[in-house]
Amino acid sequence: MSKSEELDYFGNSIPVATILGSESSFTYPSSELSNKVSPSAPDGNISFEGEQPSQERKILELVRSYLDEVSPGVKYGPRADQKSAYGWFDSHNTWKDRFPLHRAAMRGEVREIKRLCASGHDPNKKMADWFDSEPLGWAASFGELKAVIALIECGADPLRPANKAGNTPLRDAQREKHESTIAFLKWYKIQVKGDVKKKFERMSEHQKLEYIFNFEKYENQGPRPDQNLCITTLLCLPALLLCPNQCCATWGYSTLLDRLTSLPCKFCPCSPCDPNAKNPLWWFSQPIGWAASHGQLHTVMVLVKNGADPSEYNVSGYNAYSDAGRENHFHILEWLDDWEAAGRPTAAKMNR
């Protein structure tokens, strides 16, 4: 293998990745990379640990130059209706003193962010009073792009696991429709993890199938804390009794559904084995819609693998994409994006 090549996920020799026109190889496919930046280092004095400081430094330089070189003139900041939340935050007697970095992040106070981090505040500190949220999540929720960038410079990691509400900085920005922050966070993910579409282009069809339907690569996550499956089942009992595979999808019984929808009877319309069975008692909904609505990613994965169509709409005008978006299950949308980038593989296509 030459110096201009790296190994892909399956050990194949591949050309190095290209970042904004310059060659560089990504050897950190996990969210651990940005944690190697010292969280307390002030701007201009970033310290690095690990085996490849040059790669981390390259990403940090790209982050710093984003507004000037990658997306100049971009608009950012909170909506007018969001600014009332400043007073709401301060109305909690202890939050201002206990969580000054979260407060500065939501307000977009870049200098204060850098001052606090330089004085020892952890840029990834969890706010136990509010779903273990982190400063990046507050900045992203308010569209404070410069604050997001400043926090990353100080060691915050946008790719850490979701908080207790099931949100990451990207999902926070998506929920509040801050497009410039969404674009940046997606761009950042590509810089750290590489371009998924380009990775798939280097894989065989069999490798794509193994990767995209691998539970270890994608966390299920499941329903939000406020989505009570017992109550949902009781309220929708007639519909779920009529179509038991939709009940299984709601509860995330992915292994059982994988077996059912792999059987030959899957081709019998509306049978329990049909991955596209429509429920006449609930807007002619399909199993994948119930799974997507409740964040059951692994169930979505097996249904898609066995022939479910996530783009098909029910009579209420929803499909798996819009169901997941409506319920803020953005991890479902992220997987569907990866699935499309892989060429929308299914088990049937791979067996042809």
Residues 190 and 155: their CA atoms lie apart, in Å, by 18
Provide the b/e sequence for 128-155 (b: ≥16 CB within 10 Å). eebbebbbbbbbbbbbbbbbbbbbbbbb
Provide the 10 A C-beta neighbour count for residue 76.
Answer: 20
Query: Final residue of a domain: which of 135, 165, 194?
Result: 194
Over 284-295, what HEC string results?
CECHHHHHHHCC
The domain tally of the chain equals 2
Residue at token pair 């199993």: 287
Pair of tokens at residue 281 = 């008692």
Are 50 and 135 found together in one domain?
Answer: yes
Rounded (5°) CA angle 211-297-156: 80
Are 240 and 273 found together in one domain?
Answer: yes
Residues 252 and 266: their CA atoms lie apart, in Å, by 19
Residues 193 and 179: their CA atoms lie apart, in Å, by 21
H or E segment to which residue 85 belongs? helix 85-91
| Share of the chain residues as helix, strand and coil, in percent rounded to the nearest 5 | 50, 5, 45
Residue 256 included in any domain: yes
pLDDT (0 to 100) of residue 294 = 97
* Cα end-to-end distance, the chain, whole Å: 33
Residue 110 included in any domain: yes
Query: Final residue of a domain: which of 194, 215, 246?
Result: 194
Provide the b/e sequence for 43-66 (b: ≥16 CB within 10 Å). beebeeeeeeeebbebbbebbbeb
Q: Residue 6's beta-bridge partner residues?
A: 14
The CATH number that applies at residue 94 is 1.25.40.20
Residue 80 included in any domain: yes
pLDDT (0 to 100) of residue 68 = 85
Confidence (pTM): 0.61
* Number of separate helices (H) and strands (E) present in the chain: 20, 4
Are 130 and 274 found together in one domain?
Answer: no
Using DSSP's 3-state secondary structure scheme, residue 216 falls into coil
Query: Is residue 158 a contact partner of residue 169, using CB atoms and an 8 Å limit?
Result: yes
pLDDT (0 to 100) of residue 266 = 84
Residue 199 included in any domain: no
Are 317 and 248 found together in one domain?
Answer: yes
Residue 295 included in any domain: yes
Residue 66 included in any domain: yes
Residue 62 included in any domain: yes
- Cα-atom radius of gyration of the chain, to the nearest Å? 22
Are 156 and 26 found together in one domain?
Answer: yes
Are 176 and 222 found together in one domain?
Answer: no
Provide the 10 A C-beta neighbour count for residue 212.
Answer: 25
Are 42 and 106 found together in one domain?
Answer: yes
Are 155 and 98 found together in one domain?
Answer: yes
Query: Is residue 171 a contact partner of residue 327, using CB atoms and an 8 Å limit?
Result: no
> Which residue type, as a one-letter code, is found at position 265?
C
Are 252 and 320 found together in one domain?
Answer: yes
DSSP state of 67: I
Are 130 and 212 found together in one domain?
Answer: no
Walking along the chain (352 residues) 10 residues at a time, the average pLDDT comes out as 35 30 29 35 38 68 86 88 96 96 98 97 97 97 97 94 86 90 91 81 89 94 94 96 95 96 84 92 96 98 96 93 89 91 81 56
Residue 36 included in any domain: yes
Are 136 and 284 found together in one domain?
Answer: no
Pair of tokens at residue 167 = 């949100």
**Domain limits for position 232:** 205-350
Residue at token pair 């007697």: 93
The backbone torsions φ and ψ at residue 133, rounded to the nearest 5 degrees and listed phi first, read -70, 155
Residues 201 and 110: their CA atoms lie apart, in Å, by 39
pLDDT (0 to 100) of residue 190 = 84
Query: Final residue of a domain: which of 140, 166, 194?
Result: 194
Are 88 and 114 found together in one domain?
Answer: yes
